[in-house]
Every structure is written in structure tokens, then in C-alpha cells.
Structure 1
Amino acid sequence: MKNSTSIILNTRLETGKSQLHRLVKKGFLISTLTFGTMIFTAQATFAVEVKTKSSSEVSQQNTRHITFKNGQILMAGNLYLPDNFNEKKQYPTIIVTHPGGGVKEQTAGLYAQKLAKKGFITLAFDASHQGESGGEPRFLENPTERVEDIRSGVDYLTTLKFVDKNRIAALGICAGGGYSINAAMTEHRIKAVGTVSAVDIGLGFRKGWNGDGTLSDQLKLLDSVAQQRTLEANGANPLYINYVPEQPNANTPRDLREATEYYRTPRGQHKNSGNQLLFSSVDKIIAFDAAENIQELLTQPLLLIAGSDAGSLWQSKHFYDLAKTKKELFLVDHATHMTMYDQPDHVDKAVAKLASFYNTNL
């Protein structure tokens, strides 16, 4: 027979699951990656073996696999070099931040490679607690740490003799866009900020994909997080939820169907991007505001690139409306949130615009 503590914990778990499902049906639970509907997954403990390659290893594609430190966490990244790279020269450099739940080998790496072809040094890296980077617990999405990842990446870049320390810029994709803007407000070594399909992850969790979430929804979600933390403090396994729907249906919004197609099929799937989010990340995400103090503190030039048909376009407009610095909102016709990740015509238009922007402002 179960003891009273087990009965209480199991009851709380079932209550939390029911509450999560109610919020899912309302369309409020959203992902850090594309703010898609979160699906409850079986509780399990995941262990990820962190493996990185030596910074001395250089591929035939002008890529150096490197590591750097964010505090005690060993970060993993790919450094992309221009054609005809000369170690005795100094180059303008861009640090590229991937979407929530993504890894450096996906869209961040694609943009980094293409910008390297335009003459920039670029660094795409795995977020702390994710991909090949270290950090426990795994699959944690902590906005404060994500911003510090960028700062630490800039630290690393300043140690490279072939990086022009006065010409370092940031590029962020999806949630990485919000993180990059937030980092630049107080990281003045970043001289210009570009984004693609930008998202403020905190705003997305508070307001939902379409921006119509309610305070009541937020409070219910926080209640579920609180219940789960109590369960885990009393011995339950961590709870993981999905970034994007594993099985979208006819009622799934277009953006989220495309997110599943990108992340969960060979189109963009990567073994280190497992569609897992530690549920206890959610309280930290809800408390985060990527645009807080943007009017006063963002002084660097800002370029926001988004698809004209993207469901997330309102987020790029949100940043544009708030920012008081030199700014531009550039729309790619007929592009969606996800086609900006990898579709050649849309990506090439974005890269051309970004290269011009960085050349002008670095």
C-alpha cells in the first residue's frame, strides 16, 4: 500500500498534468523555439555526454571547433573563417545565437557560414545546458544564462589576435534574437545587433504565439511549475516538455507545423537538438523581459529581419517600436518564421541585408 506522501505527490502530479493539458487546449503553452504548443512528455532523467573537439582541429570548410568558458561551464562552438583567411589580419566578427532548443549546427551555423563567405569571422555556439556545451541540469532554458553565454563568447573572441576587438557584432535567431538584443544593452563590446525572426522568449510565454495570452493563463502555468518543483524536491524525476509539437494536426497553426517539419525531420533535425525543455525553466522564462530598458540602454544600430507572413512578426515589430536607436525592420516577402531558418531564397536575402548592415556599422 502506498504511504500518504506518495498519494499526495501522485495527486499533485495528476493535477499538474490536467492543468497543463487545459492550458495546451487554450493554446497558451508555448515553446522557446517557435512558441509552439507544449506537449506533456513522460517523466525521465536524461544524461547527455558532453564531447567537444580541440580548438586546434580545423575542417576543410574553414571551421574551427572551439571551446570557451561561461563561469564553470565549458561551452562548445564552431568558428567560421572567411575564404583566403590570413591569421595575421584582423577581421570584423559576428557572434551568432541559436533559437531556444536549437544547436549550432542548425540555422545559426547556416547563417554563420554564409556570413563568413562575406568576409566576417563568425562564431556559432551551443547554449549552456544544451547541445555539446556543458551545464547541469540538461535542457535548462535560463534566459539569464543565455545572455551570459553571449558575453562569454565575446570574451573568447577578444582573445583571438585575428579578431578586430572594435568590430564585434551580434546576430540572434528567434529567441536568440531577443537574447542578443538584451545582451547588447549592457555589453558595449557589441557594436551592432541583427536579428532574424526575433522573439522575446519571456513575452512569448506571457502572451502566447499570437500575443493574446492572459494573466490568468500565466498564473495557472506558474502554479503548474510550482507543483512540479515540489514533486522533484520530494524525489520525483524531472519533467520535460516539447519545444514543438511531435504530431501536429490540421488545427496546428502554420508556424508550428513548419517548426515540426524543420526540427523533427531530416530537413533540419540534429541529434543534439532533442525537442526537450526542462519544465522548471518556465518560471525563469516568464520573469524575463528581453526589451526591458531598451529605450535607454540599446544604443547600437539594430536590424530586425522577419518574414512578411511570419506569425511571430509582431515580436519584431515590438522590438522596433520600443527601440530608440538607429533601427530598421526589413521584411522578406512571403517568408514565414521557419522559412527564414533554411530556405535558400529567404536566407540569402537576409544574409545580403545583414552583410550590408554589418559592413556599414562595424
Structure 2
Amino acid sequence: MKLSSRLLAMSLVMFGSTAAVTNVFAQTVSSPQQKIASNRQTFKPGINRVTFQSAGEKLVGNLYLPTNYKTGDKLPTVIVSGSWTTVKEQMAGKYAQKLAERGYAALAFDSRSFGESGGKLRSCESPTVKIQDIKNAISFLQTVDAVDKNRIAGLGICAGAGYMTTVAAEDDRLKSLITVALWLHNPAIVNQVYGGKAKVQQMIQTGRKAAASFAKTGKGDYLLATSKTDKTAVMFGDIDYYQNPQRGAIPQWNNRFAVATWAEWLTFNPMDKADRVKIPTLFIHSEKGAIPAGAKQFFATIPTTNKKIVWMNDYQQFDFYDRPDVMEKTLASIVDRLRSTL
């Protein structure tokens, strides 16, 4: 059930997102474009703590605004979705802050079951839930005076790419799509990454049993997300980003993985949505990153001609999360793209 450090070095774990079975989350499903009342909050330059609803649960986020923001400004805006198991203060917040420094409003938020947000089964990386939360974040942003509601882009990092590409395919309120260090898989890639079809089916069944147990008892089963010593951890080995307090191992992140995660994550197939992505698209990735073949396959299927893929092959997967020089190069491509598409 765990992913080896060798696979990690090949970037095959970074997106290890989740899974509870659909019936566990059925009561939390909301309409794709949840209506949210007009927002009367006063916003200021810098970080603004915000809250909004998604399927009856409170989500907590940080809305970053430029230092020269003044009341009445209507800004192009980016929603940032980070890697699996992560919270808003990790890579999503870093990119959001850097985008605000470049003149954009940018939102990083905790999806249900993570960080400060609500949700019953904690640390559960449900693609269905995360996709709905992004859609409801769009609804929220359309109520914010600082946001130009007709110029909202989505930036998905690592596992967040699968969620953001799905939103781009399903929600026409998103006007531009950007992914960085992306993980996009289909059943064949899942079998390759996770040890073969039989092993994958075993993991799916384990996830379903854990989800059923949670539905019955209200108690979740958990593994460590990462460890150098505990071989049951989902990411076992020396994985600096998630284990270094100066990087991703921050106090807000609990280093936990809901076992129920496996079933939905392993059956999630964002590739099926590629032919429905009609908006301007930018992919930024590396051949040394997570399953570059998945990125190439998805990119080739996107029907729009307004698409671009940038390869930064000097860098590993985790470099894109927080390494300053890599982020600067990545952001240069992102901003160039946003200026031409929003």
C-alpha cells in the first residue's frame, strides 16, 4: 500500500491523492455552481482570511491581493490548488503570494477535511470533493468586490492539476487553465505506478472497506503520509519536501492520509475530460517530474489550439513546489500566459 522512495524519486507519489467511496461523501455533494450571497467583507492589500461554504461545510482560505490594491479595483484572479494532502500554507499559498506580488488576486484554500476547513473524515483526498470545492471557490470569488468575475483562472499543482483540469472541462466560469508539475493519470498509468492491476484492485478494496467502516463508526483509519522509519507510510523514505520543517513539514500540515483515500483516487480518471477543455491552457512540467507521459497524453487530446507546454527538464518534481529560482522561472511563464488569456 505504500509507495517506495525509488518511485518518489521518479515523482510518482507526489500526487497520491485520495479516496473515500462515493456513498460516504454523497451527503456532502453540492451543485457544481453553488450560489453564495453577496460578500460584504472589506479587503486590504496582502493576505485576507476568507471563509465560504461548500456543501454545508465551512472552507477557510487566504485571498492574496497586491500591495497597491485599493478599494474599487477589479483584479484578474487565480485559484491555486496544491498537491495531495496539503494545506493552503504550503505550495498553493506560496504561488498565490507570488502571483499577488505580480498584480493578481490569488486564492489558496483548505478543501474539506484539510487544515482549517470542515469535513468529517479528515485528510481524505476525495477528487469529487476537491473538484466541487474549487467550483464553489469560483462562486465565492464572484461575490468579492476585488475580483473581476469574468477573469478567473485556475492553477493546479501536482495532484491539483487533475482537479483543476476537470473544473476547466466542466465549468465555463474558468477562463484560463495552468498546471505545474502535473500528475494526470488513467487506469493504465495507475496500474503502472502502483504495482500492477492486482495490487491496485487490492488497494481499492482496502479503501472501500475503510470508507464503509467510517460510514458505520464515524472513525477514520489513517496512515502517515510520509516517514523515513515507518514502512507503512504512504511515502516511505527520505522525502525532503514533506519532512523538512523549512519546506513542507509545517505545523499546519498533519502528515496524515485517510486509508479510504485509495478507492476514489485510484479510480479517478481526469484523462476522460481532456477533450472537453476548450479554454487557453498552459502546462509546465519536467521529464524528471511526475509521469510526464500522462501530461503529454492529456495535452495532445485538448482540442483547443490555444495551448502551450513548457518543459523545464533541469528540475525534479519537488523543485517546483518551493525552490525560489524554479518558482521564479515558472511564474514568468505563468504571468506571460495570464496576460494574454485573462
State yes or no: 1:220 paired with 2:220. Answer: no
SS of the residue aligned with 1:263? helix
Displacement of 1:25: 11
State yes or no: 1:328 paired with 2:312. Answer: no
Counterpart position of 2:223: 241
Superposition map of 1:76-87 within 5 A: 76-87=60-71
Are 1:36 and 1:244, in contact at CA under 8 Å, matched by a contact in 2? no
Displacement of 1:264: 1.6
Residues 225, 308 of structure 1: alpha-carbon distance in 2 compared, 3 angstrom cutoff: closer
SS of the residue aligned with 2:155? strand
* 1:339 alignment partner, one of 296, 301, 319: 319
State yes or no: 1:163 paired with 2:147. Answer: yes
- What is the rounded CA distance, in whole Å, between the counterparts of 1:205 and 1:58 in structure 2? 44
| 1:30-86 Cα deviation digits (max 9, x unpaired) | 999615799xxxxxxxxxxxxxxxx96978x71101101112010010000012102
- What is the rounded CA distance, in whole Å, between the counterparts of 1:331 and 1:164 in structure 2? 31
RMSD, aligned CA: 3.4
Superposition map of 1:1-362 within 5 A: 20=1, 34-35=14-15, 62-200=46-184, 206-209=190-193, 213-229=195-211, 237-247=219-229, 260-268=239-247, 269-295=249-275, 297-325=276-304, 326-362=306-342
Asked which structure has the greater CA Rg, the reply is: 1
- What is the rounded CA distance, in whole Å, between the counterparts of 1:68 and 1:236 in structure 2? 25
Displacement of 1:285: 1.5
Please identify, of 317-326 and 144-153, the stretch whose mean Cα deviation from structure 2 is larger. 317-326
Are 2:168 and 2:277, in contact at CA under 8 Å, matched by a contact in 1? yes
Please identify, of 111-120 and 264-273, the stretch whose mean Cα deviation from structure 2 is larger. 264-273
Q: Which amino acid aligns with 1:161?
A: D
Task: Report which structure shows greater RCO (CA 8 Å, sep ≥6).
Answer: 2
- In the alignment, structure 1 segments of 5+ residues that lack a partner are 1-19, 39-54, 250-254
The TM-score normalised by the length of structure 2 is 0.82
Residues 165, 228 of structure 1: alpha-carbon distance in 2 compared, 3 angstrom cutoff: closer
- What is the rounded CA distance, in whole Å, between the counterparts of 2:16 and 2:236 in structure 1? 5
Are 2:65 and 2:106, in contact at CA under 8 Å, matched by a contact in 1? yes
Are 1:205 and 1:286, in contact at CA under 8 Å, matched by a contact in 2? no
Displacement of 1:309: 2.1
- What is the rounded CA distance, in whole Å, between the counterparts of 2:17 and 2:54 in structure 1? 31
Are 1:56 and 1:64, in contact at CA under 8 Å, matched by a contact in 2? no
Please identify, of 331-340 and 193-202, the stretch whose mean Cα deviation from structure 2 is larger. 193-202
The number of aligned residues is 317
Displacement of 1:291: 2.2
Are 1:27 and 1:37, in contact at CA under 8 Å, matched by a contact in 2? no
- What is the rounded CA distance, in whole Å, between the counterparts of 1:62 and 1:334 in structure 2? 32
Q: Which amino acid aligns with 1:310?
A: G
- What is the rounded CA distance, in whole Å, between the counterparts of 2:310 and 2:236 in structure 1? 23
SS of the residue aligned with 2:295? helix
Percent identity, aligned pairs only, is: 28
Residues 25, 360 of structure 1: alpha-carbon distance in 2 compared, 3 angstrom cutoff: closer
Please identify, of 279-288 and 120-129, the stretch whose mean Cα deviation from structure 2 is larger. 279-288
- What is the rounded CA distance, in whole Å, between the counterparts of 2:210 and 2:204 in structure 1? 10
Q: Which amino acid aligns with 2:207?
A: V
- In the alignment, structure 2 segments of 5+ residues that lack a partner are 19-39
Q: Which amino acid aligns with 2:176?
A: A
Q: Which amino acid aligns with 1:114?
A: K
